[in-house]
Amino acid sequence: MSLQPKIQKARGPKFNAGAKLKRDKARNALRDSRIGLEIVVLQIGKFLDEYAMVKSDKERAEILNHCIHYLSHHCMSGTNLSQLANCQSELLLLDAQLAISGS
């Protein structure tokens, strides 16, 4: 029994439509990840603004704590790593299917 996924031959317009959907999904996942990171950058800018306004080191440390908390909870989830990984595997399977069909 083979542990490798079953790769079917790529053929017909239905396959081509499915391939386009997978490619679009991957592009959208990349776009969404970039948007997530841009939001993180904006939030860090707000932390920098707050940092410049405070007077005490205790307040600065609190801002750094808030930033660390924000990054640990939002940075990686904002990039949708699991969505990117799923799209990567779908595209590799698609490439294998196309190689088998000779397209």
Per-residue model confidence as pLDDT tens digits over 75-93: 766 567 788 888 888 888 8
Per-residue model confidence as pLDDT tens digits over 2-37: 555 555 555 566 668 888 899 999 999 999 989 988
Cα distance between residue 61 and residue 71, in whole Å:
15
Q: What is the pLDDT of residue 58?
A: 96
Per-residue model confidence as pLDDT tens digits over 33-53: 899 889 999 999 999 999 999
- 3-state class of 6 per DSSP? coil
Q: Is pTM, for the whole model, over 0.75?
A: no
Cα distance between residue 29 and residue 14, in whole Å:
23
Q: What is the pLDDT of residue 63?
A: 96
Residue 50 identity (one-letter amino acid): E
Cα distance between residue 95 and residue 101, in whole Å:
10
